[in-house]
Chain A
Amino acid sequence: MATVTAPATGAPAEHDVYTDDEQLIGGRQTLVTIGEKIGNVCLGEVPTPKGWWIMFLAGFTLLQALVIGLAWLFYLGTGVWGINSPVFWGVAIVNFVWWIGIGHAGTLISAILLLMHQKWRTSLNRFAESMTLFAVMCAGIFPLIHMGRPWLAYWLFPFPNNMAAWPQFRSPLCWDAFAVSTYFSVSLLFWYIGLIPDFAYLRDHAKSKIQQIVYGMLAMGWRGSAMHWRRYEKLYLLLAGLGTPLVFSVHTIVSFDFAVSIVPLWHATIFPPFFVAGAIFAGFAMVIWLAIPIRHWYGMKDLITEKHLDVCAKIMLGTGLLVSYGYFSEVWMAWYSQSTYEWDTTLQRMFGPYGWSYWLLILTNTIIPQLIWFKKFRTNEFLLFLVAGSVHIGMWFERYVIIVTLTRDHVPSSWGRYAPTLADYLVMFGSLGLFLTLFALFMRFLPMLSITEMRELLPHKAGGRDGHAVMENAK
């Protein structure tokens, strides 16, 4: 590729100076400035921005909605929700799939892009991984509370018990329990391993005793030893290598929850790839939503440059097209198969009582994201933020459309209607509160970007190693 970066033509560039040739690091950064820029936020040396307080307080308020919603649900049972025959899976499952989908972009950025030598991942991987963890936490709430008797959730796992009963291992719902808990555990390990050297930096440069103790404990005595780094890099690479197929397997299994049933339009082989593409699509929309505030509130424009937003927007566009192909394929297969039930359910989906949600989905997920073809929508943060918001709505409605398909079954006598209740919405928006609260705390107390990997990304002359070469170095 071009090695000489020409001065910006036309619109004035955000930065005139870049540390590296690929315009991934703005300003003149060194090993020291990178550490201070990221680490000083955790050490409380940067005044907490107003935006952070708005995010935290909004999230914390919504979190109370979750508490009320859960208390109400546990007191009276799942009858407080709108679920009833024929729709036994309501917005709880919509929210579950929505959150777990968002989670997947974190692992994609961390693991898959690492294996593909994408240097731009380095600025995004830490907060994207945190996004994954918090989104999976939010997702995990829904199947548990949907059980009706959530205190018996451990029955999902095999253990010898005096009832002499075991789980039904041929059920995708049982696979789901294993998939989601493995995904959470492995994401947590990957995240923590990445944080250890950064904790060591914070430990060594903390001013207050309490910071030294807490970050010191978390760093576990890391001293940057070359022997330790050798093992560390190998572990990091192998976790990325395992994480990549893990992402695909988890969302494939989530899609099996639907596809293994015999409901028309659910029983389709397109579901696994369609779900995985949708997950990446939604996840990149959330990465954009989180990257923009981080850039503004904490002045990280040097480390998350316009180029990063541009690349994220392009991936969102690409995966959005895959998802749109999925919508097309569903309709095409229903028509071409000449199956009465498939085609009739398709017509019901488009023009039945919930037809509005189908067209809203097409508008927000297929039509509006096409704006990203214009460069202005990739570089103007406000416009990009709006398009990403449209994707959030669209991906929620995608699962909603799948759920309300249940209102039109094979037998017209079993047809029905479904509407969520206040209790549904309390838990739904409450989970958003949990996510915002956790993410705000993460921004304040943990390094938002990987200090270690950003330092490696620095060019040689700035003291770095010219990019993360874990693929070559891990032995």
Chain B
Amino acid sequence: MSAPETPQTWGMLAEFDSADALITATRKAREAGYTKMDGHSPYPIGEVADELGFPRSEIGAVMFIGGMVGATMGFLMLTWVSWVEYPLNIAGKPYFSWSMFIPITWELLVLSASVSGVVGLLALCGLPMPYHPLFNVPAFARATKDGFFLSVEAADPKFDADATRAFLLGLPDVKSVEEVPA
């Protein structure tokens, strides 16, 4: 096999000094027309997600639907068991004593909303994902420590190895730019 002229690359990774520099860099990259990018930081920075065009997450809707389904199914289960399937006369209370069903309905609402939120987070983020090309860059370990990174994927229509590297190097407060092997 002949050595490839241009090695397969996943994209470019630029490191910045501070959260504010990452916010500025993301905005400039978006204004320059890049679309397939992501920020990486040791703690959440809402402004980066805003600049990436992800102003609102889906988690609220996921949890609302999960909670409503759980509560409805729970209440119907309680009603069906106590009224239809296994009617018990408890201290002369009506079979459909709905107020007695509220505690369990509430607990099931919380449980199903929480579980759907966590499953939703993992599913939407594509986790667990033990391998990712970004982990090939040794410096990326700082993304969980004190590093603020902006990655631009090669899949971006505007991506060009040399031009993108030059663009990232031109951003304010940039520390380094590295190529991410695929």
Contact = CB atoms under 8 A, between A and B. Distances in A.
Interface of A: 30-32, 35, 158, 164-172, 174-175, 178-179, 182, 185-186, 189-190, 192-193, 197, 200-201, 203-205, 216-217, 220-235, 238-239, 242, 245-246, 249, 253, 256, 452-453, 455-456, 463-465, 469-470, 472-473, 475
A201 B144 contact: yes
Contacts, number: 205
Contacts of B35: none
Nearest to B112: A182
Residue with the greatest number of chain B CB neighbours at <10 A, chosen from A178, A225, A226? A226
B44 A233 contact: yes
B156 interface: no
A473 B46 contact: yes
Contacts of B132: 221, 223
- Chain B interface size band reads 35 or more
Contacts of B93: 170
Nearest to B126: A221
Contact of B45 (A203, A217, A229, A253): A229
A197 B41 CA distance: 10
Nearest to A456: B43
A164 B82 CA distance: 13
Given A168-B88, A256-B103, A475-B56, 19 more contacts: A166-B82, A178-B104, A182-B111, A186-B110, A190-B114, A205-B141, A205-B144, A220-B129, A221-B131, A222-B127, A226-B41, A227-B54, A227-B125, A229-B45, A235-B121, A238-B59, A242-B110, A253-B103, A464-B43
The binding surface of chain A is classed by DSSP as: helix
B115 A189 contact: yes
B49 interface: yes
A253 B104 CA distance: 10
Nearest to A174: B104
Contacts of B45: 226, 229, 465
Contact of B41 (A171, A185, A224, A469): A224
Contact of A170 (B63, B90, B108, B125): B90
B143 interface: yes
B103 A230 contact: no
A231 B125 contact: yes
